[in-house]
Each structure stands twice: as structure tokens, then as C-alpha cells.
Amino acid sequence: MRQISILLLLSLGACGGNTPIAEITRLFAPGEPDRLAIAEAESQDAEENGPEVVRFALGRRAATAQLIQQQGNRRMWRAPGGVVVATEGARVVATAGLPQMIMATRFEGPDPLEDPRALLERSAEARRLVDFSGASRDPATMRFGIAFDCRLRAYRTEEALILVEERCRVPGFSPVVNRFWADGETGQVGYAEQWVGPSLAAMALDFEP
């Protein structure tokens, strides 16, 4: 298991739900390649013994992304086809190459996910502002400063893991639910399922080699 600007993401090459992959594909702008399909196909042929990697899945598509940049706990991962995922810890904070793209994430105060073990004793609230865009980057598809008002709770599982469940209220959207599974001793998140854009399925990320 296992805030980056849109300009940086683009120089390198998006509400949780169960959206069928056919619907996801139709969200691309006319002429826009299905980068998820490219990422999945080319990941199957890529060598996984090189740099650190993360495995991710969106709908029925799955691919392997390699670490291409790191600054502290902020990391940028690139998959074949130009799909880029930026994470801060285990949280996705920006994406590129998807039918919907997260352009930036800004936290108001510390992120409680930094210490999942502390959430076993008490729940916590968190707020962040998210900018996102359609794949075409048409200004009409862009929205800025969408507020995510969230509450995080943690539970121990039978597998000796810590499950953090984050429920968020988002103006104009259905409630968002993100889930993170962390090591019971270290608090390190190894697997996550989280929101990566309107009309997209939740993205699953496996950080374990």
C-alpha cells in the first residue's frame, strides 16, 4: 500500500462516485487523447524496478506512476501518457492529464491527516480550498476557491491498520468521502481512496512497493 501550481503540472505534460469509464472518457475535450488508457497500457510494459513508484486506479483504469520530483513531503508522480499526480503526504493536491484536473489545493491550517494516530483519540476538522478545471482548460470549466469543510475520524481495523475516514461538505456538490489506511504503529498511510474532481470516480493510490 502508500500545492502545486497548474503551470508546473502542465509544463510536465484532475466527487467521489462510480462513474463508468465510458462517461469518464467523454469528459475529455474533442480531440483530447484518453491519457488514462495510454497510462494503463504503457504501464504494463514499463520497468518497475527503477525510481520509487505509486500505483493508482481511476474507475477501471490502473497505472503506475514514477516519482519525478520531491520537496519535503510534497511529491510529483508521472505516469505514461502525461498523467501527473501531485501529493502532499498521502493526499492528492493537484493533477494533470485527467478528464477533470485539480489545479491547486490550499490548506487553512494544519492537515490532521499528518498524524492519523492522533485521530484515534479525537476527531478533527479541516478546511481547504481547491481550484479545478476541465481537460480543455477552457476558462468556462474552471472553478476557484471551492471550500472543502471536512471532519476526520479514525478507527482501528482487524488488520492492525488505522482507517481514517474524511467526510467533507462542498458547496454545489454531493458530500465527499475520502478514506486513508495507515500503519497502526508508524501512522504512515499506505493506501488511499480520494476525490480528484467533479464527475470522476474516487482515485485509489497504493504507495507500497
| Full-model pTM | 0.78
Region 72-82 average pLDDT: 91
> Distance between CA 19 and CA 187 in Å, rounded?
31
E strand residue ranges, the chain? 53-58, 61-71, 74-79, 83-88, 91-96, 100-108, 124-134, 143-156, 161-169, 176-183, 189-194, 203-206
Q: Check residue 75 and give its pLDDT.
A: 95
Contact between 121 and 52 under an 8 Å Cβ cutoff? The reply is: no
What lies within 8 Å, CB to CB, of 58 at 6+ separation is: 24, 36, 98, 196, 200, 201, 203, 204
Looking at residue 135, what is its pLDDT?
86
Please tell me the CATH superfamily of domain 6-206, with its number.
YmcC-like (2.40.360.10)
The whole-number pLDDT of residue 80 equals 85
Work out the burial of residue 199: count CB atoms within 10 Å of its CB; fewer than 13 is exposed, 13-18 middle, 19 or more buried: middle
Q: Please, which pLDDT band fits residue 41 given cuts at 50, 70 and 90?
A: low
User: Would you state the pLDDT for residue 196?
Assistant: 95
- Domain limits of the chain? 6-206
71: its cell numbers: 520537496
